[in-house]
Amino acid sequence: MKTEKQKMIDGEYYLANDELLARERAECKALLKQLNIDEYIVGDGTRAVLAKLIPNAPKSLYIEPPFHCDYGYNITCGENVYFNVNCVVLDVTHVKLGNNVFCAPAVQIYTATHPLDAELRRSKENGKPVVIGDDCWIGGGAIICPGVTIGNRCVIGAGSVVTKDIPDDSLAAGNPARVMRKLEPGS
């Protein structure tokens, strides 16, 4: 029998008010307080907080506070990932960012979603993983919706709402985001 945590990570319907999940969200909030209040000026203490908050990230991860996430442990980052101020990652399941991913201010990455059926929605939720490839730039205020994969070397325009996968080497923008053009090296 799967735990509610395992169901959550696997993208199945789960009970968000499960005791373990509630405790882990509280632990995450305590680390976010350290990052967003106590270590607001990024310094030596920030690395220690980030290592606890997002254990699946290299030391090159850089976050400008404030930053918010649900659990932290479901976020995996490559080298040289940057989150500017006011970014939100709802990581009820896997969020994978490749190498050299830059998130402008107020980028929101959502894995959390809810059933369309009202009765089921009263008690359960689920998630769909998000993947962002290498060498991507996510513009300010962009929203990446549950289940989306963004390919390598993509640019997502400011304010875009990404509801569908974006192929490699694409400039995508709009609400909903659509591919505007293919990006060529040196452009």
CB 150 within 8 A of CB 165: yes
One-letter amino acid for residue 166 of the chain: I
CB 133 within 8 A of CB 98: yes
Nearest to 110 by CA among 152, 142, 146, 74: 146
Question: N- to C-terminal Cα distance for the chain?
Answer: 52
Q: What is the DSSP letter of 18?
A: -
User: Catalytic one among 114, 124, 128, 153?
Assistant: 114
CB 11 within 8 A of CB 93: yes
Active-site residue 114, yes or no?
A: yes
Taking the CA atoms of 94, 60, 43 and 87 in sequence, report the sign of the dihedral they define: negative
Q: Residue 68 has which token pair?
A: 């918010």
Nearest to 16 by CA among 89, 148, 108, 114: 114
Catalytic residue numbers, as ranges: 114
